[in-house]
Structure 1
Amino acid sequence: MTTFPDRITVNLASVLTFGAFAALVLNAMFGSLAALTFMFCGMLLIVSNPARSVDSLRRWWFVLLLPAYCILTALWSQFPTNSVRYGVQLMFTAMVAVVITGRLSTATLMRLMFIVYAIGVVASVAFGRTGAGGTWLGVFGSKNAFAAHIAVFVLIAAALTADRDSPWFLRLCALGGVVISGPLLILAQSAGATLMVLPCLAVIVLTLVTTRLSQNQKLFLLVMLAIAAAALALVVLVLGDTLLAEVLEGSGKDPTLTGRTDLWATGLGYIAERPLQGLGYRSFWVIGFAPAEELWAMFDVPAGAGFNFHNTYISNAVEIGLVGLAMQIVLIYGGALLMAAYTFARPSPANALLLALQLLMILRSFIEVEVFFEFSIRSIMGIATFIYALAGLLVLRRQPSTPAPHLSHRGLFRHA
């Protein structure tokens, strides 16, 4: 923590995390410098307080089992060099996520994420461009990337607007972000992003409502939500395909999700061949590998352009098998359940945001691949959410009669 003569306190961990996040979120603007900037800021974050870094890594060592397993797949990978290289990079990314949870509060993380994502929004409005069919790409490579950015931004802005502990000018900017996010999603012409962001916004609103309810009222609301969720799940299981087809047809989209169903069928075939161990981490989409080359050609995608199976479970199971996929599911769904429990016990805008982002990750996991790979802010947030929630619940368990410590005491900037 550094204090300047004007009595503004700067948190070094916040600054370094901001730099790391900015590099990842705005990688379309930074280009090849994004990974280098992230590694530089991440390494400085780790070594700037080695005692706390080691303590965090020792305490949450089990979340590093996933990248360790990815490295291990080099033993049977058809491209072992890739598995080791990218596995090590994923390990570093996971370590940075663990260290962040030990250095930053959830409220601080929310504020710096808003600033980072707001930069992307402002840059997109000022210097953005349109793609085929008039879709708005912003400063990103595709409309899907731009829509995903706006979806996350609106959730952060909504949560920050409701955070009474944040500076008024930051909350005012967040309110403006909520207002402009709707038109920007429309410009992106992404029906999926729009539909997915609505239940996530509802999570934030419901969390804020529960702060005014008694414990019994919150319990009643939780039961009603569980019943509604079960009913919705039943409807999706029974009528999911029909409803999806109607939604896609009504929005003018391809019923096959632009060929994703063909990709999924191909991926399932490879999973059936090697179900437990997979082909090896990052060993399918490799230039020169005939099946990958065939799919790139089929979908008119340049070889090595970062294509995937557009489904987290299928894509990752192809490479790391059902064993590795099980580890990922624990982090994804375990993080959501743990954060839901912690948010229920200690409702706050920051906790609500983490829960909403985890829900968004789950919803997008069925049509996109956002986790777990190197230099990915969504991967970092997935790991961080799991740890924040588990740490909070452990505090509540140890001190059942004492209010949990307020998590916003270390701000991105704070007046002394």
Structure 2
Amino acid sequence: MAETMPAVSPMTARRPARQQRRRVLSYSPNAIAAFIAIFGLTFITPLGSKGALLFLLGGMALVATRPGEVLASLRREWPIVLVALWCVMSFAWSDYTSLTLRYGIQLVLTVTIAVAIGYRLAPMTFVKIVFATSAMGGLASLLLGRARSDGMGYLGIHASKNALADASSVLIIASLAVLVDRRLSMRWRLPALAAMFLGAVLLVMGQSSGALVSTMAVILVFGVIILLQRLTPYMRLVTIALAVVLGAAIAMLLSSLSDELARLFLDVTGKDITLTGRTDLWAVAFGQIAERPLLGVGFQAFWVPGQPLAEQLWADFGIAGRSGFNFHNTLISNAVEIGILATAAQALIFIAAAWACLGWAIRSPSAASVFFALFMVRLFMLMWIEVVYFYQFSAGTAIIIAAICYTHRFRDHIGKPVPRRARRPIRITFR
């Protein structure tokens, strides 16, 4: 019997061997699980408990696949874990035991999942996920969102205009980081350009003065990061010293013109000179801190319906819904709830992470390092007039914790000894 050969078409025969190879679509189970988790946090306001469930499902999938690895990572990040456990333990002296216990456990879960993401995903993968989910949230806010009932600002898919402003700022920062990294292909950078424009539109529609100012400030910080990266270590030190002196001089000048600037701020924004009555809020908060300086009233146990002082403040400020209100200062608000010592520990963790992110961005600029640096700088600016950390089922809290993990991983990486043959001068630049 004659042996037959398989038929080959003339077109196939002429193709080079490289073109005949099949294209394989690769995916990462870790990235898919993390995307589900971050997507749930991004859309937690419209989805409600379903958004929290998505976050838990995606996050716990990461934890369950390698529990030993996650446990080791949590031991590495013991300061933030200890702070979260303190929030849980505050149920023992809280006036609202069940609420504090529930929210504290949710915070511990948020920390656990964020640490798992920070040690299982590459920084660039995390930033791409944040960019994608933020862009989806921005599109949903533009197409399906709503304005406030009083017409003072746009809410999008969020519960408040400040929440919309925060989400829009994250979208702008992520888009900027992706756009300027030349190592990424155009299929990422072109959508980033459109997403940056979308974020800017939503930021203006939200009419949040603080968010506008802070976002413009982080863009300026981005320029400083690029400048410092191009300088020698000695010139960086000189430049930073000169910037500190210049900043002090500007602060002294602004303090001498405080009355004129306050009137100008009132005319431009239409807001109260005392920043929406924050001085009155802070007076009440200081009274609460004086009564319980070490322990606080319990994690998230102040702004609770039925709490006498909270009810009085809601009535004074006309907050009919009795929600979405706070002391408009991270340190003051957290000191009321968990005491001075725990608040100081939180502040130390956050400021150290912000400083480490800046160092990472200067020494090794990339979409990931720039994103985390700008994100942390923006929160540092806002922490004096808003509450920015740490609370449960929050995308912002998850990003902060991921930033802490990634800076530790970066520090470990640069601390490893380099083989003798590979010791060559290296200059890290945008490519």
Choose 81-90 or 354-363, whichever is displaced more: 81-90
Change (3 A) 1:81 1:136: closer
TM-score, normalised on structure 1? Answer: 0.88
Q: Look up the SS of the partner of 1:280 in the other structure.
A: coil
Work out which of the residue numbers 29, 39, 47 in structure 1 matches 2:64: 47
Q: Look up the SS of the partner of 2:295 in the other structure.
A: coil
Choose 9-18 or 201-210, whichever is displaced more: 201-210
What does 1:310-389 align with in structure 2 at a 5 Å threshold? Answer: 310-389=328-407
Q: Look up the SS of the partner of 2:125 in the other structure.
A: helix
Change (3 A) 1:9 1:241: farther
- Alpha-carbon distance in 2 for matches of 1:29, 1:104: 27
- Alpha-carbon distance in 2 for matches of 1:95, 1:279: 25
- Alpha-carbon distance in 1 for matches of 2:252, 2:104: 38
Q: Look up the SS of the partner of 1:109 in the other structure.
A: helix
Tell me the equivalent position of 1:114.
131
Displacement after TM superposition at 1:278 (Å): 0.9
Tell me the equivalent position of 2:140.
123
- Alpha-carbon distance in 2 for matches of 1:295, 1:203: 37
Aligned partner of 1:75: which letter? A
Q: In 1, are the aligned partners of 2:209 and 2:269 still within 8 Å (CA)?
A: yes
Q: Look up the SS of the partner of 2:304 in the other structure.
A: coil
Q: In 1, are the aligned partners of 2:138 and 2:198 still within 8 Å (CA)?
A: no
- Alpha-carbon distance in 2 for matches of 1:9, 1:290: 57
Tell me the equivalent position of 2:194.
176
Change (3 A) 1:324 1:20: same
Q: In 1, are the aligned partners of 2:164 and 2:202 still within 8 Å (CA)?
A: no
TM-score, normalised on structure 2? Answer: 0.85
Q: Look up the SS of the partner of 2:339 in the other structure.
A: helix
Work out which of the residue numbers 267, 272, 297 in structure 1 matches 2:285: 267
- Alpha-carbon distance in 2 for matches of 1:82, 1:180: 37
1:98 equivalenced with 2:115 (yes/no): yes
Choose 41-50 or 253-262, whichever is displaced more: 253-262
Displacement after TM superposition at 1:219 (Å): 3.9
Displacement after TM superposition at 1:134 (Å): 5.6
What does 1:5-404 align with in structure 2 at a 5 Å threshold? Answer: 6-131=23-148, 132-133=150-151, 135-234=153-252, 243-244=261-262, 246-302=264-320, 304-399=322-417
Q: In 2, are the aligned partners of 1:130 and 1:138 still within 8 Å (CA)?
A: yes
Aligned partner of 1:340: which letter? L
Aligned partner of 1:347: which letter? P
| Unmatched segments (≥5 aa) in structure 2 | 1-21
Aligned partner of 2:65: which letter? S
Displacement after TM superposition at 1:67 (Å): 0.7
Aligned partner of 1:225: which letter? A
Aligned partner of 2:96: which letter? F
Displacement after TM superposition at 1:63 (Å): 2.0
Aligned partner of 1:46: which letter? V
Displacement after TM superposition at 1:244 (Å): 4.7
Deviation readout 1:295-339 (Å, 9 max, x if unpaired): 222222246524321211111111101011011101221111122
Change (3 A) 1:368 1:232: same
Q: In 2, are the aligned partners of 1:13 and 1:45 still within 8 Å (CA)?
A: yes
- Alpha-carbon distance in 2 for matches of 1:403, 1:193: 41
Q: CA RMSD in A?
A: 2.5
Change (3 A) 1:262 1:345: same
Aligned partner of 1:325: which letter? T
- Alpha-carbon distance in 1 for matches of 2:398, 2:425: 28
Aligned partner of 2:48: which letter? G
Q: Percent identity?
A: 34
- Alpha-carbon distance in 2 for matches of 1:78, 1:345: 48
Q: Look up the SS of the partner of 1:9 in the other structure.
A: coil
- Alpha-carbon distance in 1 for matches of 2:25, 2:413: 31
Change (3 A) 1:390 1:243: farther
Tell me the equivalent position of 1:411.
none
Q: In 2, are the aligned partners of 1:208 and 1:348 still within 8 Å (CA)?
A: no
| Unmatched segments (≥5 aa) in structure 1 | 407-416
| Count of aligned residue pairs for this structure pair | 401
Deviation readout 1:263-286 (Å, 9 max, x if unpaired): 121111111111121111121122
Which of 1 and 2 has greater Rg?
A: 2
Q: In 1, are the aligned partners of 2:329 and 2:383 still within 8 Å (CA)?
A: yes
Choose 86-95 or 285-294, whichever is displaced more: 285-294
Q: In 1, are the aligned partners of 2:146 and 2:155 still within 8 Å (CA)?
A: yes
Aligned partner of 1:184: which letter? L
Change (3 A) 1:265 1:241: farther
**Higher relative contact order by CA 8 Å / sep ≥ 6: 1 or 2?**
1
Displacement after TM superposition at 1:167 (Å): 2.9
Displacement after TM superposition at 1:122 (Å): 0.9
Change (3 A) 1:257 1:19: same
Q: In 1, are the aligned partners of 2:41 and 2:55 still within 8 Å (CA)?
A: yes
Change (3 A) 1:83 1:29: closer
